[in-house]
């Protein structure tokens, strides 16, 4: 549970609070990494333990920091011998995403990118037009 959820739960369960409807209202879960969640959601369909089959650009000489970026896992090797694991690295200043592919035969590392930073916006409810 995230800190905001725990605070809401503590307030709801405090003495004097009206707890009759606690079971009806779900607790608000706030992601600590909404940008990373968005990028992983958009890129996940394009990666698999068999590697990336997209015509994405490959970084010729990635920096050491980029080669070791494993802060945002995207996929794992699954049940595939010599499969690939993928990680997402986000450069917020450049609004770019890099996908680091590691594994395969002899444990190779390949960096794909820069890819455009995906935009995830919450669904906006639009009012229905009145019927005529």
| pTM (2 d.p.) | 0.67
Domain-located, residue 132: no
Tens of pLDDT, residues 78-121:
888 899 999 999 998 899 999 999 998 888 999 999 999 988 87
Domain co-membership, 105 together with 42: yes
pLDDT score, position 86: 94
Domain co-membership, 57 together with 104: yes
Query: Which whole number is the average pLDDT over 3-8?
Result: 56
- Please list the helix, strand and coil fractions of the chain in percent, rounded to the nearest 5, in that order: 20, 20, 55
Domain co-membership, 53 together with 86: yes
Domain co-membership, 10 together with 40: no
Confidence of residue 124 (pLDDT cuts 50, 70, 90): very low
Domain-located, residue 80: yes
Tens of pLDDT, residues 27-76:
566 668 888 899 999 999 999 999 998 999 999 998 888 877 777 899 98
CA atoms within 13 A on the CB side of 63: 7
Confidence of residue 125 (pLDDT cuts 50, 70, 90): very low
Domain co-membership, 45 together with 92: yes
Contacts of 83 (CB under 8 A, 6+ apart): 49, 50, 76, 77, 103, 104
pLDDT score, position 26: 59
Structural domain that includes position 19: 1-30
């Amino acid at each position: 549970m995230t800190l905001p959820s725990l605070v809401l739960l503590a307030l709801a369960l405090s003495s004097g609070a009206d707890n009759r409807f606690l079971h009806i209202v779900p607790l608000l879960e706030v992601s600590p990494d909404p940008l990373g969640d968005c990028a992983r959601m958009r890129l996940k369909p394009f990666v698999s333990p068999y590697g990336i089959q997209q015509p994405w650009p490959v970084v010729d000489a990635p920096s050491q920091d980029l080669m070791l970026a494993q802060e945002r896992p995207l996929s794992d090797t699954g049940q595939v011998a010599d499969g690939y694991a993928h990680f997402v690295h986000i450069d917020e200043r450049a609004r770019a995403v890099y996908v680091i592919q590691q594994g395969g035969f002899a444990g190779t590392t390949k960096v794909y990118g820069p890819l455009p930073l995906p935009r995830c916006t919450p669904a906006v409810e639009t009012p229905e037009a009145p019927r005529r």
